[in-house]
Copies of this chain bind each other. A is one copy, B any other.
């Protein structure tokens, strides 16, 4: 294969599909009860040094409970898949959990501004980086989900984003057209928050799916947090709505309000006050440490975190702010 140009950064993960197949050959297809708590899920599926991806879109439909548990378990040297990662990335930076990151969008919280601490971490040089775009990263997951070692995209070409990536320029064997070939990525583990799941891991998502369907298929292990567990019969009555089938899933955790302080479509809007507080408190390392102790390290469960954030009164208020509700 003629490679016309290549990005100079190092690839964090093996793009060899036959190695991934070897893993999936052994993964159980049994439809067993996969319920467990966040602690056990992190203990079993997120060891130090593994490569992690988080579903949703920054502060929308994110699996906050498991991320908090990663911090409490003091995980270190994680690799991270950073496609529009906002509050999730901010959390992992707060916990000093990561040492390498594939970047499309980090540090920022979109219209809310930039995270001072995440920025500090990324400017420190402590974290190894590789640049991509949101679509390039989605395409890398898609390639893995399709069981092949690369995908071709028409973005990145001609830019420094390409130069600082690990992509390669190839030509179409039919048209001679140039493409950026992006390598498949099979994350070691993905955490995805969904609306409904049964105890086996069959999942339904309402609204946009972002890159989560590709992610669930690419990841070697999948941890699901769900707003609500539903019966398998309910899944089987609406098979068109199943977007993640059970055999991809390793752990199922019921976490109502699990995307808090992020938005969960049809259920509750993001807590902008809490997210703004993060951006303020991060400016002062002393204050920030206290803040993290109070909200994350000093609590033993996600429920307790929700209590400290304002409990039911706050959650009811966020439900009211969600304009997207059922007809």
Q: Is the CB of B168 within 8 A of A1?
A: no
Q: Which residue of B lies closest to A3 (CB)?
A: B173
Indicate if A303 sits at the interface (CB-CB under 8 A): no
Tally of this chain's copies: 2
Q: Is the CB of A207 within 8 A of B240?
A: yes
Contact of A148 among B17, B152, B168 (CB under 8 A): B152
Task: Report chain B residues within 8 Å CB of A207.
Answer: 239-240
Chain-B contact segment, one of A43-51, A175-183, A248-256: A175-183
Q: Is the CB of A149 within 8 A of B168?
A: no
Point out which of A15, A172, A327 has the most chain B C-beta atoms below 10 A from its C-beta: A172
Q: Is the CB of B179 within 8 A of A168?
A: no
Q: Is the CB of A16 within 8 A of B177?
A: yes
Judged by DSSP, the binding face of A is loop
Q: Which residue of B lies closest to A139 (CB)?
A: B146
Could you give, for residues 124-159 of chain A, a 1 whenever the CB lies within 8 Å of some chain B CB and a 0 otherwise?
000000000000000000000001111011100000
Contact of A2 among B2, B15, B179 (CB under 8 A): B2
Q: How far is the CA of A199 from the CA of B271 in the complex (A)?
A: 39
Indicate if A23 sits at the interface (CB-CB under 8 A): no
Could you give, for residues 230-258 of chain A, a 1 whenever the CB lies within 8 Å of some chain B CB and a 0 otherwise?
00000001011000000000000000000
Task: Report chain B residues within 8 Å CB of A239.
Answer: 207
Q: Is the CB of A148 within 8 A of B1?
A: no
Which residues of A (171-194) have their CB < 8 Å from a CB of B?
171-177, 179, 181, 183
* 3 A-B pairs with least C-beta separation: A1-B171, A168-B173, A237-B327
